[in-house]
Amino acid sequence: MALTLGRGPLSATPSAAVNYEIVGPGHRLFFQDFPRRVRTVFGGEVVADTREGKLLHETGSIPQLYIPEKDLRTELLVPSEHTTVCPYKGEAVYRSVRAGDRTAENAAWSYTGPEWMRGYTALAWEAMDAWYDEAEEIHGHLRDPYHRVDVRASNRRVRVRLDGRIVADTARPMVLSETGLPNRMYIPPEDVRMELLEPSSTRTVCPYKGEAVYWSLRAGDERLEDVAWSYPQPLENALKAAGYLCFAHDRLTIEELPR
């Protein structure tokens, strides 16, 4: 994400503050070794097990893992008549993944060009049952080596309001900086009027921060859905923000006050 989205050098709108020029197409491809062992499982079968996977960094997209053919269980892959054409990578030929009585249709694809992508196959992340980075199961997608999450203790004064009502007020937030995204202020629950919040059933997963739980806000007869979220058990890079709440909603005012 650091390379291909936002203002990254392989994005559609790279930063102009550089002392170099990229001579080439506006849509860029960068094929790079992934440094660790990756496995994926479907229908109780290991479909791929590789130490030689490559990440394709492509303008406007999150990185996609491509696996050498020798590291695929090719007997589980069934030829498909489905094809697509990408103006940058050529024709994609698809195969379905079949294990026992289950089939993931068109869940594997490979490109006829460029030449350096030949012999590599991608698997649809969401179609598989599980993915492992070394021995750790991962969710969402593989972590981009160029994407960072940093959390720092701060003494900024941050206030969250709904109209004139104070929802949270703190002078001890955690500032979470994430590649390509604006800083987020995470507020300790002791500085939040938790009686105004109601647990939400919404859950999301971030490959870099972990699983997030959400809260909604009751404002009179109105309920504002999913105004805040938290990572109760975050991944290692976000541990310092564990249990803190972050707010974002069109109806909320989030302001930094002078101290």
pLDDT at 18 (0 to 100): 85
- Does residue 9 form part of some domain? no
Q: Is 168 inside any structural domain?
A: yes
Instruction: Tell me the β-bridge partners of 214.
Output: 229
Q: Flag residues of the chain having pLDDT under 70.
A: 1
- Residue 246 sits in a domain whose CATH number is 2.170.150.40
Residue type, 70: K
Residues spanned by the domain of 63:
29-138
* Measured distance CA(252)–CA(165) in Å, rounded: 10
> Do 108 and 168 share a structural domain?
no
Strand partners, 192: 168
Q: Do 109 and 65 belong to one domain?
A: yes
Residue 149: other Cβ atoms inside 10 A: 20
Residue 21's pLDDT is 82
Q: Convert the pLDDT of each residue in 222-241 to its tens digit.
A: 899 999 999 999 999 999 99
Q: Say what the pLDDT of residue 24 is.
A: 80
pLDDT at site 252: 96
What does pTM read for this prediction?
0.88
| The last residue of a domain, from among 138, 157, 189 | 138
Residue whose C-alpha is closest to residue 120's, from 168, 45, 66, 189 = 66
What pLDDT is recorded for position 3?
87
User: Considering its fold, how many domains does the chain have in total?
Assistant: 2
| Residue 60 Cα distances to 1, 173, 217, angstroms | 9, 32, 34
Which residues lie below 8 Å from residue 128, measured CB to CB, with a gap of 6+? 40, 41, 42, 47, 97, 104, 107
- Are 165 and 131 found together in one domain? no
- Residue 70 inside a domain? The answer is yes
Q: In this predicted structure, what is the pLDDT of residue 124? A: 97
Is residue 21 a part of any domain in this protein? Answer: no
